[in-house]
Chain A
Amino acid sequence: MLDCVPEGHVQHTVGKINPAKTCQPIGAMYAALGIHACLPHSHGSQGCCAYHRMHLTRHFREQVLASSSSFTEGASVFGGASNLKTSIKNIFKIYNPDVIAIHTTCLSETIGDDVSTIIKQSEIPEGKVVIHTNTPSYVGSHITGFSNMCKSMVSYLAQADGETKKEQVNVIPGFTNPGDMREIRRIVSALGIKLIMFPDTSGVLDAPLTNKYQMYPDGGATVAEIRDSGNSELTIALGSFASNAAADLLQEKCGVTGIPLKLPIGLKATDDFIMALKDWFGVEIPRDLAVERGQVIDTLIDTHFHYQGKSVAIFGDPDHVIAMTEFAITMGLVPKYVLTGTPGKEFEATIQKMLDDAGITGSKIKAEGDLFELHEWIREEKVDLLIGTSYGKYIARKEDIPLVRFGFPILDRAIHPLMPVVGYRGCLRLIEQISDALLERRDRDALDEDFELIL
């Protein structure tokens, strides 16, 4: 396994080896799937669309439909306007979505296609909507692309009908799984607050298998809902990298107050989310939620000796990693290496502050890193546990470290997209996975005389 990786420090200053990010368009495609009856459209050559659909499909094990402008060399030289106009016409005629959400690619960005002008020149049937976002693949990461599409939902659709705001909250859930979005809805509903969540891939990418095929499943935020988000009192942006831009624009455009929070992964972040809602809307916390929180505390105390003091490397998307690092600290784990592939110095500052507050020293933190570098750190000094995406499995096997799969993508284990890691229930799931991983290792490594029934 990874036998080609040289020993010792390697000079690696340009490019990425084993990247921990991918390009913007896939994030935009994922966000667009969170609009009801929306067909994402990739304005570029068809390979991009094929790759993004393939990758999303492998993570979600669900149909991921999206179309492409299918650039050829001619379009690449003369511009893709005619391809896009033809696409829009064909899509509405053949696939009849409510919305087409276009994102660009490195190809159409490099040639400089002006998508908003092309949309204005296109034939759009009455009642149908076409939105777009710019997602140059050579800037940021898939998280940036997700953020850009969320922002475009606001810029194209959100509108304030008057000064008076409705007693309802907008939640921008970040690049999370449909299971997470479902759980966020459950929590907000339990608090008795009316919710507009966009994007919302629950009901789209965790749709049930019934005896009726739906090209556009029931889920997703409707255009009417996204429009109405401009009339909400409050927006909660979950995860600064994925969600802040849209919330900021909503504040600017429609005067909706935005509160930036971490993804509600872990005890403190979930507390923050619930308290923000409680403080703003003055709601009581229902007993069921209080019980769930108490169960998490109970479990943390019951099981702390399974994991406390263990060192952990956490990698993945920035909002996930930030929240997970906070929860790891809550659990008593020691985050030794914390890395994201997405650029952003605030990532490093945020993590550093958490570690400083916890009195943890000597950790390595990096934004815009890659897994080759993470591996080098681990080769220098090992950790007890890896938390991250499926791409960590090579390092895990090579260095014989257990891997808890977390974030996007998870390509080699099923069901993750359906099972929430957000909220108090998500805490229990994460504790279970982390505890199990370390106990499996303890059982595996135990001598016969040390092998125990009860742990």
Chain B
Amino acid sequence: MDGIESTLEELYTQYPETVKKNRKKHLIVKSVAEESCPQIEANTRTIPGIISQRGCAYAGCKGVVVGPIKDMLTITHGPVGCGYYSWGARRNKARADATTPKDKIYGQMCFTTDMQEPDIVFGGEKKLAKMIDEVVAAFHPRAINICATCPIGLIGDDLNAVAKAAQERHGIQVLAYNCEGYKGVSQSAGHHIANNNIMQNIVGTGTGKKPGRHVINILGEYNIGGDGWEQERILNDCGYTVNCVLTGDSSYLDIKNLHLADLNLVMCHRSINYIAEMMNTKYGIPWLKINFIGVEATNQSLRQMAKCFNDPELEKRTEEVIARETARIEPVLEQYRKICRGRKAFAFVGGSRSHHYQHLLKDLGMEVVVAGYEFAHRDDYEGRQVIPTIKSDADSKNIPELHLKPDEKLYKENHEYLNMTKEQFEALKKEVPLDYYEGMYPDMKTGDIMIDDCNHYELEELVNKLKPDIVFTGVRDKYIAEKMGVPAKQMHSYDYAGPYAGYDGAINFARDVAHALSTPAWKLIVPPWERKEEPEEKSQDGVTNA
């Protein structure tokens, strides 16, 4: 403990006093003495000049939440860059299905108004309106998203007015997202803006309930590398009907019917908890925080879900699926454990993943000693009980908070969705943490470090001081870690592999991590003419090229 604290003190010495004061609040060492999580500062401004991993509200809105909706044509209103960089960059896989034919999928295309200087001076509304007219004539999309970039708010283009007029002209929904990059302090602002718009304008407008005994949504699953498809496979096997995966491989038509489900599962708490909460308020649909990253985590999530429905047949099938899948993958995982076991990892990624992956790493016998998020809020670290105590500031106040009321026609009580009595539901809530997320802290070990908005300097220092065996991070930090001699895996894009969710995902992940740790080149860094003694001729145990 003292060792860790003094390591951090040493790290702070390089900082100017104001930076030191600020950053100290973002780093927490888990202490055995404290049962509840000490307050961590999160979702506050990055200090100018600090090399952060953070992106912007546009990235959170268009890049994360809105972009993956496969049958909505998304136009980025702004100069060319924002649309260009968010084109094909997030690996949100999508495919045709019963309601969405191939020719209604736009994910491989990029639409941007490519604003030029005169548009900045005289306004870009006309250009945007014309582009909408042209894409409607050419592509006949079911609905359109318009995402704002930094200059839009400054020059005063009225996106909502353009969208409304276009909607009237074309008879399809046209949604405007005021997700200018400077809003909020990170991607997180954009998630919230996207959640609000989807909730206000799309959810609840459909009437097509999917048949099935237990109909569920998976919220905050973006189908990166096909994660959502692996989850659907498992859930279908257990006997669920997946109504919609929001927004990975989702369609506009599915989202219209989002409210026609019995239970919302929340995967990425940070990016989608708003919709989960709002649906609970408006329709009475309960939500359950699940985690399908990790074998034990998947099993636990499935068991908790099964309990929610008070259905012995469902519980039986769930156990069968767990037994079958676990038996299938266990021998494969054991091979990789020989390489992975005992290895120390850092995880800096996203607003939920650094927690999710701790479970999968534990399955492989690895431990995370430093974990952090780029754009999380306090509740993602400390648990949702802190939400009422989070003070809003100038940056969070500019993201509207919707205050919804129960829907007059569609609202039902939580327990009615789950087909049980109120008493049964109350009892269930004691067993299964419905409408709650405990955050990352309880899963960290004493002496571990939790770090918010980790920057380049801190990464470099912590790698030097704590010498992890592997770093799980984003593409911007991956090659930094590797140049420091530490294997790194991209946890946004999985180094273009996956899925990493569910049971198949556990095997993929274990193989990829084992390969990252054991690729032979790591032992050849020192050239023969600089080697002081003969290198050990010890080969790695277990799998080398499976």
Q: Give the interface of A toward B (CB within 8 A).
A: 1-6, 10-19, 21-23, 25-26, 41, 44-48, 50-55, 57-58, 61-76, 83-84, 86-91, 93-95, 105-107, 110-111, 136-139, 141, 207, 209-211, 213-215, 372, 394
Contact = CB atoms under 8 A, between A and B. Distances in A.
Interface in B453-501: 456-457, 460, 474-476, 478-480, 482-485
Would you list the 6 A-B pairs with minimal beta carbon distance, nearest first?
A47-B56, A23-B81, A87-B49, A90-B49, A137-B79, A3-B102
Contacts of A55: 85
Given A51-B81, A51-B82, A12 B14 contact: no
Interface in B53-71: 53-59
Contact of B56 (A2, A21, A50, A53): A50
A3 B52 CA distance: 38
17 contacts: A4-B105, A6-B138, A11-B137, A14-B130, A16-B80, A21-B84, A45-B56, A45-B181, A46-B46, A67-B50, A70-B52, A76-B154, A89-B49, A95-B456, A106-B151, A107-B154, A137-B80
B338 interface: no
Given A3-B102, A54-B85, A94-B50, 16 more contacts: A4-B102, A4-B105, A10-B134, A11-B137, A14-B131, A17-B110, A47-B57, A54-B89, A65-B480, A75-B182, A86-B48, A107-B182, A110-B154, A138-B79, A138-B119, A372-B109
Contacts of B394: 72-74
Contacts of A136: 79, 117, 120
A4 B110 contact: no
B113 interface: yes
B252 to A, nearest CB: 14
B467 to A, nearest CB: 13
Interface in B102-119: 102-106, 108-117, 119
A69 B149 CA distance: 17
Nearest to A71: B182
Contacts of A13: 130, 134
Contacts of B112: 15-16, 19
Contacts of A207: 483
Contact of B104 (A4, A16, A19, A215): A4
B234 interface: no
B16 A46 contact: no
A25 B81 contact: yes
Contacts of B82: 47, 51
Given A63-B479, A211-B485, A111 B154 contact: yes
Given A25-B81, A76-B150, A138 B14 contact: no
Contacts of A214: 483
Contacts of B85: 22, 51-52, 54-55
A54 B105 CA distance: 25
Contact of B138 (A10, A41, A106): A10
A107 B48 contact: no
B102 A23 contact: no
Interface string B398-439: 100000000000000000000000000000000000000000
Contacts of B135: 17
Interface of B: 14-16, 19, 45-59, 75, 78-87, 89, 101-106, 108-117, 119-120, 127, 130-131, 134-135, 137-139, 149-151, 153-155, 180-186, 394-395, 398, 456-457, 460, 474-476, 478-480, 482-485, 525-526
A93 B15 contact: yes
A91 B52 CA distance: 12
Contact of B81 (A45, A94, A137): A137
Contact of A215 (B46, B101, B134, B460): B460
A401 to B, nearest CB: 16
A252 B457 CA distance: 41
B127 A69 contact: no
A47 B54 CA distance: 7
Given A22-B80, A45-B182, A136-B117, A90 B48 contact: yes
Given A14-B134, A67-B51, A89-B16, A2 B109 contact: yes
Given A15-B113, A16-B80, A72 B150 contact: no
B80 A50 contact: no
Given A54-B476, A94-B457, A46 B49 contact: no
A367 to B, nearest CB: 14
Nearest to A56: B476
A18 B476 CA distance: 24
A86 B127 CA distance: 37
A106 B154 CA distance: 10
A46 B52 contact: yes
Query: Which of A6, A17, A69, A215 has the most chain B CB atoms inside 10 A of its CB?
Result: A17
Nearest to A80: B48
Contacts of A74: 394
B50 A90 contact: yes
A54 B104 CA distance: 29
B150 A107 contact: yes
B398 A73 contact: yes
Contacts of B78: 106, 137
A72 B457 contact: no
B116 A17 contact: no
B81 A11 contact: no
A93 B151 CA distance: 32
A335 B119 CA distance: 34
A4 B103 contact: yes
A70 B127 contact: no
Contact of A44 (B45, B139, B150, B484): B150
A17 B111 contact: yes
Residue with the highest number of chain A CB atoms closer than 10 Å, among B51, B460, B475, B479: B51
B395 A94 contact: no
Contacts of A107: 150-151, 154, 181-182
A55 B109 CA distance: 17
Given A90-B16, A111-B154, A12 B138 contact: yes
B103 A3 contact: yes
Nearest to B16: A93
Contacts of A3: 101-103, 105
A414 B58 CA distance: 29
A79 to B, nearest CB: 12
Contacts of B115: 138
B116 to A, nearest CB: 5
Contacts of A17: 109-111, 135
A50 B108 contact: no
B485 A138 contact: no
Contacts of B110: 16-19
B134 A45 contact: no
Contacts of B75: 15
